[in-house]
């Protein structure tokens, strides 16, 4: 339990937060998790490229009937691929997978969730090519590709959000930016393996980080920190845009944060669970228990907003 007393932000801080320009808001929502967070979630034991690749579907906005992206990650090198999709039929997913031009003869295992898009002709293709199809249990998604989905969604939605904030109109464009953003991800140093994925993919073996989870690695925001809340699907507001009747980000990889700003009232750990809960209050209300937002949030359901030191 945090024993620091929460206080409502000053008028100067509130005025600053409510007047932040669109680009600054988008940049803050896109920033990387701290090194501590990356250490917790970037771990894997596969060291040989193409020994295991993970696939998942990323749900995006409707850009000229393209609404999904098939995302792929090589577990050893963290190299990434992505292809835009108009539907999630097994045949469409197979074609997108083939368009990625992975060396099929080198792949040992493909890891996916149990979705119908990875059954049928897609599953049969893997079996015919002597590739093991590792299917996760219901509710469990391959975590490396989920992390890719999260980062990719943030990058693509950042560009949409800037245009929306500047024009006041919804923006659905993402397909034209997909290839360049994937290339950027492959040419940036990956914190888990300490090198660029495009270089790691060429190696015979890629050293993997040691992973040991303990209570010292638990993550929390501090009392008084300013945050936005990651919205759930049922909190989205439907928008009519021509033939598009509803804009929604429908997966855990969504980056749709609340417009409203909050400050952390306290944080606590229940019965030794592996994470902290946070309780928050709208920035316009004083630090009283009756003003606490009626939900508790983990570290990754909040996004901190930085305040200049001069305030």
Q: How confident is the model at residue 13 (pLDDT cuts 50, 70, 90)?
A: confident
**Considering 146, 170, 200, which residue would you say is the last residue of a domain?**
200
Q: Tell me, yes or no, whether 48 and 194 share the same domain.
A: yes
Q: Tell me, yes or no, whether 286 and 241 share the same domain.
A: yes
| 248 against 142, higher pLDDT | 142
**Considering 149, 167, 200, which residue would you say is the last residue of a domain?**
200
Q: Domain containing 26: what range?
A: 11-36+214-304
Distance from C-alpha of 77 to C-alpha of 46, rounded to nearest angstrom: 9
The reported pTM is 0.64
Tell how many helices (H) and how many strands (E) occur in the chain.
Answer: 8, 9
Extract the tokens encoding 85: 């999709």
Q: Tell me, yes or no, whether 196 and 81 share the same domain.
A: yes
Q: Tell me, yes or no, whether 92 and 178 share the same domain.
A: yes
Three-class SS of residue 73?
strand
Instruction: Name the domain count of the chain.
Output: 2
pLDDT digits (tens, 9 = 90+) for 120-156: 999 999 999 999 999 987 766 788 898 898 889 888 8
Q: What is the CATH number of the domain that holds 128?
A: 3.30.420.10
pLDDT digits (tens, 9 = 90+) for 252-277: 444 566 777 899 999 887 666 567 88
The answer to whether position 293 is within a domain reads: yes
Q: Tell me, yes or no, whether 63 and 87 share the same domain.
A: yes
CB neighbour list of residue 17: distance below 8 Å, 6 or more residues apart: 9, 226, 261, 283, 305, 307
Q: How confident is the model at residue 171 (pLDDT cuts 50, 70, 90)?
A: confident
Mean pLDDT of the chain, nearest integer:
81
């Amino acid at each position: 339990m945090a024993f620091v007393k929460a206080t409502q932000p000053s008028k100067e801080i509130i005025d600053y937060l409510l007047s932040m320009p669109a680009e600054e808001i988008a940049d803050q929502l896109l920033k990387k998790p701290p090194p501590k967070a990356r250490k917790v979630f970037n771990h894997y034991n596969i060291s040989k490229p193409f020994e295991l690749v993970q696939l998942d579907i990323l749900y995006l906005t409707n850009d000229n009937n393209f609404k999904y992206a098939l995302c792929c990650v090589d577990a050893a090198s963290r190299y990434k691929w992505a292809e835009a999709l108009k539907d999630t039929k097994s045949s469409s997913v197979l074609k997108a997978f083939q368009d990625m031009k992975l060396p099929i003869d080198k792949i040992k295992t493909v890891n996916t969730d149990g979705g119908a898009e990875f059954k049928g002709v897609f599953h049969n293709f893997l079996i015919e090519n002597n590739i093991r199809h590792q299917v996760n249990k219901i509710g469990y998604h391959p975590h490396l590709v989920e992390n890719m989905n999260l980062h990719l969604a943030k990058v693509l939605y950042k560009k949409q959000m800037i245009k929306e904030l500047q024009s006041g109109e919804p923006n659905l464009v993402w397909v034209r930016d997909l290839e360049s953003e994937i290339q950027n991800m492959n040419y940036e140093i990956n914190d888990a393996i300490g090198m660029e994925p495009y270089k790691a993919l060429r190696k015979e073996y890629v050293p993997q980080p040691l992973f040991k989870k303990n209570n010292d690695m638990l993550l929390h925001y501090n009392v008084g920190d300013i945050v936005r809340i990651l919205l759930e699907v049922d909190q989205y507001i439907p928008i009519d845009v021509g033939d598009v009747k509803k804009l929604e980000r429908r997966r855990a990889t969504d980056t749709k944060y609340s417009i409203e700003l909050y400050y952390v009232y306290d944080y606590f750990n229940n019965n030794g669970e592996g994470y902290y809960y946070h309780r928050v209050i709208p920035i316009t209300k004083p630090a009283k228990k009756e003003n606490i937002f009626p939900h508790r949030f983990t570290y990754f359901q909040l996004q901190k907003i930085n305040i200049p030191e001069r305030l």
